[in-house]
Amino acid sequence: MTADILSAHLPGDRVRPLLEAAEDADGIAAFSESFVQGLDDERVRHTHFLVENGGDVVACAGLAEDGSAELVVHPDFRRKGIGEALARKVRAENPGAGLWAHGNLAGAKALAAKLGLSVSRELLVMGISADDISSGGPELPDGFEALDYVGAVERWGRDAVEKQWLEVNNDAFSWHPEQGGWDLERLHRAMEADWFDPAGVQLLYEGEQLAGFHWTKRHPDGAGEVYVVGLASRHRGEGMGGPLMQMGLNHLVGGGSPQVILYVEADNVPAVKRYLQLGFKVDESHVVYK
């Protein structure tokens, strides 16, 4: 099949049936949360390329300004050169583009080999059953207090809370390609997600200063997620990671989540080791090919 590639602006609803068909076939979503958001939200500033058949979208690629890209081909139209054509189009637009392969399935490996690409980054999905999570409240040192976002805003006001939240986030993730360098607009955009729950943002304070946060997420099937855990650099090495983790886990399990997942960079060996010690196991691998 000849792949005539079209540029598209915010293709949204036209792409969703394609994403659903691919996930049904593969057992894993082809697009991550940010790339799904980019289908409709102009602020995300993604570029999109489509392949159509009879008016239906049978393949789509999204390209972010930072060079990350994701692509999906309908199960009925695979092994026809469409994925390769889309990947080459993305790399023509940005020669340094990194192609995400969620689940690193056989088709993605074959395409990467054909294009001469290799894995440049690996993101692990780790999971644990709620039954295997230790119960009990986090043990906080004297002078520390746990609040959720709602309680903190009631005490200090939204502006003050979000200012410190951003400061701790950008301090903790200065090295991270997606989570670092956030501003208030980026935070508010994330808080617009359908799943966002203010009570699910657990905040750890030392007096009036935010020491760290555990932002949780609950999926439609009830599963919980350790979405983001950030600790201010001034508190590293003080044993605060454990209490922060427990705060979020207690919130998720207390709300009925039967299991909890998290995402972690595979090369973050200390973090992976810590999660394994807590009882998490590796469920999936997501990689970037360059």
Q: How far apart are CA 286 and CA 290, in angstroms?
A: 14
Give domain status of residue 289, yes or no: no
User: 77 with 148, same domain?
Assistant: no
| CA angle, residues 73, 36, 85, in degrees to nearest 5 | 30
pTM higher than the cut 0.85: yes
Domain end point (choices 88, 117, 146): 117
Q: How confident is the model at residue 149 (pLDDT cuts 50, 70, 90)?
A: very high
Give domain status of residue 140, yes or no: yes
Q: CB of 212 within 8 A of CB of 230?
A: yes
Residue 29, pLDDT > 90, answer: yes
Q: How many domains does the chain have?
A: 2
Give domain status of residue 122, yes or no: no
Q: How confident is the model at residue 135 (pLDDT cuts 50, 70, 90)?
A: confident
Give domain status of residue 123, yes or no: no
User: 20 with 45, same domain?
Assistant: yes
User: 95 with 179, same domain?
Assistant: no
User: 147 with 278, same domain?
Assistant: yes
Q: How far apart are CA 128 and CA 207, in angstroms?
A: 33
Which residues sit in the known binding site for acetyl-CoA?
71-73, 229-231, 268-273
User: 155 with 274, same domain?
Assistant: yes
User: 134 with 84, same domain?
Assistant: no
Average pLDDT over residues 24-48: 97
CATH number at residue 110: 3.40.630.30
Residue 289, pLDDT > 90, answer: yes
User: 141 with 249, same domain?
Assistant: yes
Range(s) of the domain holding residue 234 = 128-284
Residue 2, pLDDT > 80, answer: no
Give domain status of residue 149, yes or no: yes
User: 102 with 155, same domain?
Assistant: no
Domain end point (choices 117, 138, 169): 117
Which residues sit in the known binding site?
33, 71-73, 178, 217, 225, 229-231, 263, 268-273
pLDDT in tens, 159-200: 999 999 999 999 999 998 899 999 999 999 999 999 999 999
User: 266 with 139, same domain?
Assistant: yes
* Token pair of 158 as six digits: 């939204």
